[in-house]
Amino acid sequence: MTHTLLINSLPALPFGDRFSRREQTLQDIVQRLRLVDPGIKECVSLVPEASFAHRSSVLTVNGMRLIATATTPVRMHSEPCPEHASNYRIIIPFVGHASLVADGVALNCLTGSCAVFIPDVSLLAETSLASFLTIGLDSGRLEHVTRTMQGLTPSSPSGLNLNAPRELSLQVGRVSFEIVFRLLSRAVDQFMYEPDLLDAAGLDDCFYRYISFLLEPTLFLKHSDAKSNSEFSRRKLDIVCDYAISRLHQPITLTALEQVGRMSKRSLHYAFQSRFGCTPMQWVRQERLLLARSQIHSAKNGVSITSIALSCGFTKPARFAEYYNQHFGELPSATLARVIER
């Protein structure tokens, strides 16, 4: 079997198959993996050299490091890296499995069952023929996002346990987080065609939020505190809405809205459902559509729908046209054509 055939027999990468790099040597793998694990020291193939194959795709989104790997069986060793002590890793298996020993703790990373959380500790790992998504995280940002989602002050404990390596169940209630991260990886894959839009898309915020759920689901499965109107005032929601309206042309995340309103995720959603009958992000989209329609009605000859869409915070003009049609019953181009004819 040729090396090309071996490469083609590898599982698909979580993202970036079309942009992936083939590692020719084990040292190449070490250099590549150091992007998310600076302390990695060694990688050893567990199959004969003629059967060895490895591919990877690496991406940084607003400081968050993602690496997709597909590999024949290997053994890896890493040690703590003091200058990167705030860096943590989540390893999510998409195909195959890995057996790990992290700081003396035996862990399993198994597709459809469990991911692993690894702080900056010594690590030994052996993989099967496998495909993994590894996410390099900043502990400070992770704690900040978790506090914000709970509506806590910056000085409050986040409730996260980041001290020890552990397995993370990929099934939380009726939610499969394997599916969640597969969908996020597909979104990353699509934005690789338009890298200028990647940082603006807010995918890094989604990753951090879902990882918070995965790390400590009990923080977010407690009885809802959102049913009491005394938990949040109309003034708080007004502040959130004013903030969003002033930034419709910029990326807006749920984390930012929660932080501005000092509301937990549940409280924020309940407030928007009570007043507007929709979720916070649906409301933001409606406001952007209203802004876009206003700009179209005042548009001069030569102005494009794409430029209006982008100026109103829509990163995908085709999706903008779809939302516009659903909301107003016609395509934005039809509205613009009537305006220009006047």
Which CATH number covers residue 336?
1.10.10.60
Range scoring the smallest mean pLDDT among 76-90, 91-105, 259-273: 76-90
Domain termination site, one of 139, 155, 185: 185
- Residue 167 shares a structural domain with residue 295: no
pLDDT at residue 246 tops 60: yes
Alpha helices in 139-202 (DSSP H): 139-150, 177-191, 195-198
231 pLDDT exceeds 90? Answer: no
**Which of 307, 49, 315 shows the shortest CA–CA distance to 202?**
315
- 5: which 2 tokens? 């055939």
The helix/strand/coil state of 234 is helix
276 lies in some domain: no
Q: What are the strands, taking DSSP E only, across the chain? A: 21-22, 40-45, 54-61, 64-71, 74-78, 87-95, 97-102, 105-110, 114-118, 123-127, 130-138, 166-169, 171-172, 175-176
Q: What is the rounded CA–CA span in Å between residue 267 and residue 275?
A: 12
pLDDT category at 23 given cuts 50, 70, 90 is confident
Asked if the model's pLDDT at residue 233 lies above 80, the reply is no
CATH number, domain of 54, equals 2.60.120.10
Would you call 65 helix, strand, or coil by DSSP?
strand
Total-model pTM: 0.73
Residue 86 is predicted with a pLDDT of: 61
Q: Which of 142, 164, 185 is the last residue of a domain?
A: 185
Asked if 74 and 126 touch (Cβ cutoff 8 Å), the reply is yes
**Number of domains comprising the chain:** 2
Of the candidates 51, 4, 55, the residue with the CA atom closest to the CA atom of residue 33: 55
CA dist., res. 102 & res. 118, Å (int): 7
> Domain range holding 294?
289-341
**Residue labelled with tokens 């590898």:** 10
Domain end, chosen from 150, 166, 185, is at 185
Residue 210 lies in a domain: no
Judge contact between 256 and 249, C-beta under 8 A: no
Element housing 305 (H / E):
helix 305-311
pLDDT at 81 > cutoff 50: yes
3-state SS of the chain: helix, strand, coil percent to 5? Answer: 45, 25, 30
Residue 249 domain-assigned (yes or no):
no
Q: Do 55 and 176 fall within a single domain?
A: yes
Mean pLDDT of the chain: 88
Residue 121 has pLDDT above 70, yes or no: yes
Q: Give the other-Cβ count within 10 Å of 37's Cβ.
A: 25
Assess if residue 216 is contained within a domain: no
Paired tokens of 7? 């490469």
- Is residue 174 one of the residues assigned to a domain? yes
Q: Which of 32, 34, 26 is nearest to 53 (CA)?
A: 26
Closest CA to 256 of 289, 284, 286: 284
Q: Would you say residue 159 lies in a domain?
A: yes
**What pLDDT was estimated at residue 232?**
44
Q: Is residue 297 part of a domain?
A: yes
Q: Determine the pLDDT at residue 228.
A: 42
Position 49 pLDDT exceeds 90:
no
- The rounded percent of the chain whose pLDDT value lies above 90 is 60
Q: Which of 53-57, 60-64, 177-181, 260-264 has the lowest mean pLDDT?
A: 260-264
pLDDT above 90: residue 4: no
Task: Say how far residue 320 (Cα) sits from the centre of its chain.
Answer: 22
Between 22 and 15, the more confident residue is 15
Lowest mean pLDDT among 122-131, 162-171, 214-223: 214-223
pLDDT at 3 over 60: no
The tokens describing 270, both together, are: 């309940």
Q: If you average pLDDT over each of 3-7, 159-163, 234-238, 261-265, which comes out highest?
A: 159-163
For residue 82, pLDDT beyond 80: no
Among 86, 117, 82, CA closest to 100? 117
Do 178 and 54 share a structural domain?
Answer: yes
Question: Is residue 38 in some structural domain?
Answer: yes
Give CA–CA dist 162/279, Å, rounded. 31
Same domain membership, residue 165 and residue 293: no
Q: Which residue has the tokens 């998504």?
A: 133
For residue 49, give the amino acid letter: E
For position 275, what pLDDT does the model report? 86
